[in-house]
Amino acid sequence: MRRFLSYIKFLYMKMKMNQRHSSVTFEYPYVNKYIHPFSRLEIKNRFQECSGCSDCEKVCPTKAIAISGEIYSASMKKPKTTLGADIVRHIEKFSISYDKCIYCGICVEACPTKSLHFEKSFISPAKEVRGLTIDLKTENKAAIKGFLT
């Protein structure tokens, strides 16, 4: 009987709380939480502005970036980015491994064309670690063979 009364009391208190607050939880993913303007969430690349220089790949301290594709030879006429820089490589894959990335932002700072940037979006959760490697070129979660160690 005592337990039953304490349960009724609990329900009563809960009802009163619910009257005071319309919602007690954030309804993810329908209600977005506030994202601070300086937040670093998802790395994106505007490929029409990317020269394929690989500077981002070279400076990444955790080797989270992997770029592959043919480098244009010195004798070839190089295409240009939308902002007029020479494109030195035809990028086929541009992968970020979020299991390695520490969000230091060094790659974004090093990018000479400013095509690499952070966006206020979230990467999707993955069942396996390999699912955290995302090819920005295709936006498909596809681990490059041999890239994951």
Chain residues binding ligand SF4 by CB under 6 A are: 45, 50-56, 60, 62, 64-65, 96, 101-107, 110-113, 115-116
| C-beta of 100 vs 142, nearer to ligand SF4 | 100
Minimum Å distance from CB 47 to ligand SF4?
8
Minimum Å distance from CB 31 to ligand SF4?
28
| C-beta of 106 vs 148, nearer to ligand SF4 | 106
Residues 94, 100, 105, 109, Cα dihedral to 10°: -40
| C-beta of 26 vs 122, nearer to ligand SF4 | 122
How far is Cα 22 from Cα 25, in angstroms, rounded to an integer?
Answer: 9
Minimum Å distance from CB 96 to ligand SF4?
6
